Amino acid sequence: MHPIPRAFYERGTATVAKELLGKMLVHRASEGLTSGKIVEVEAYYGKGDPASRASRKRTRLNEMMWWHGGLAFVYMVHANWLFNVTTEREGVPGAVLIRALEPVTGVQLMHMRRRVSNERGLTSGPGRLTQAMGITREHHGLGLTDARSEIIIVKGKVERFEVASSHRIGVSRDLKRELRFYIRGNPFVSR
Query: Do 189 and 183 form a contact (C-beta atoms < 8 A)?
Result: yes
Query: Do 140 and 82 form a contact (C-beta atoms < 8 A)?
Result: no
| Coil vs helix vs strand at 63 | helix
- Domain assignment present for residue 188? The answer is no
Query: Do 71 and 142 form a contact (C-beta atoms < 8 A)?
Result: yes
| Coil vs helix vs strand at 6 | helix
- Give the range of the structural domain holding residue 150, as residue numbers without chain letter: 6-183
| Coil vs helix vs strand at 165 | strand
CA distance 96 to 150: 19
What pLDDT, on a 0 to 100 scale, did the predictor assign at position 159? 92
CA distance 128 to 121: 7
The pTM for the full model equals: 0.94
- Domain assignment present for residue 151? The answer is yes
- Domain assignment present for residue 86? The answer is yes
What pLDDT, on a 0 to 100 scale, did the predictor assign at position 41? 98
- Domain assignment present for residue 179? The answer is yes
Q: Which stretches of the chain are DSSP H helices?
A: 6-9, 13-20, 107-114, 120-123, 126-133
What pLDDT, on a 0 to 100 scale, did the predictor assign at position 27? 98
- Domain assignment present for residue 1? The answer is no
- Domain assignment present for residue 23? The answer is yes
The CATH number that applies at residue 74 is 3.10.300.10
What pLDDT, on a 0 to 100 scale, did the predictor assign at position 66? 80
What pLDDT, on a 0 to 100 scale, did the predictor assign at position 133? 98
What pLDDT, on a 0 to 100 scale, did the predictor assign at position 84? 97
Predicted confidence pLDDT, tens digits, the chain (191 residues): 899 999 999 999 999 999 999 999 999 999 999 999 999 999 999 888 877 777 777 777 888 888 999 999 999 999 999 999 999 999 999 999 999 999 999 999 999 999 998 999 999 999 999 999 999 999 999 999 999 999 999 998 889 999 999 999 988 887 789 999 999 999 999 97
Report the domain count for the chain. Answer: 1
DSSP label at residue 124: B
- Domain assignment present for residue 144? The answer is yes
